[in-house]
Amino acid sequence: MATSRGFFVRLVRYAESRKNLTGSVCGLAGVGITLTGAAGSLWPLVVAGLYAAGALIAPPERPDTPHFPGAGEQLEALRADFATLRTYLAEVELPPATRERLDSFESLVEALLEPGWVSDPDHLHVLARAVRQDVPEAVDTFVRTRWWSRFNPGTEAPESHLERQLAALHEEATAIAGALRDAEAIRQEIHTRYVEERGN
Determine the pLDDT at residue 33. Answer: 77
Task: Please tell me the pTM assigned to this model.
Answer: 0.64
| pLDDT tens track for 92-150 | 999 999 999 999 999 999 999 998 888 888 999 999 999 999 999 999 999 888 876 66
Determine the pLDDT at residue 85. Answer: 95
Torsion angles phi and psi, residue 93, rounded to 5: -85, 120
Determine the pLDDT at residue 80. Answer: 94
Higher pLDDT, 188 or 31: 188
pLDDT > 80? residue 1: no
Average pLDDT over residues 180-198: 87
pLDDT > 80? residue 167: yes
Determine the pLDDT at residue 72. Answer: 77
pLDDT band at 81 (very low <50, low <70, confident <90, very high): very high
Contacts of 124 (CB under 8 A, 6+ apart): 71, 74, 75, 78, 118
pLDDT > 60? residue 2: no
Determine the pLDDT at residue 87. Answer: 95
Average pLDDT over residues 6-19: 73
Residue ranges per structural domain of the chain: 2-57, 71-198
In degrees, rounded to 5, the angle at the alpha carbon of residue 85 between the alpha carbons of residues 82 and 88 is 155
In degrees, rounded to 5, the angle at the alpha carbon of residue 115 between the alpha carbons of residues 122 and 137 is 55
Measured CA distances, 110 to 30, 84, 95, 169 (Å) = 67, 13, 22, 14
Are 175 and 169 in contact by the 8 Å Cβ rule? The answer is no
Average pLDDT over residues 173-182: 92
| pLDDT tens track for 38-63 | 767 777 777 788 788 877 777 777 77
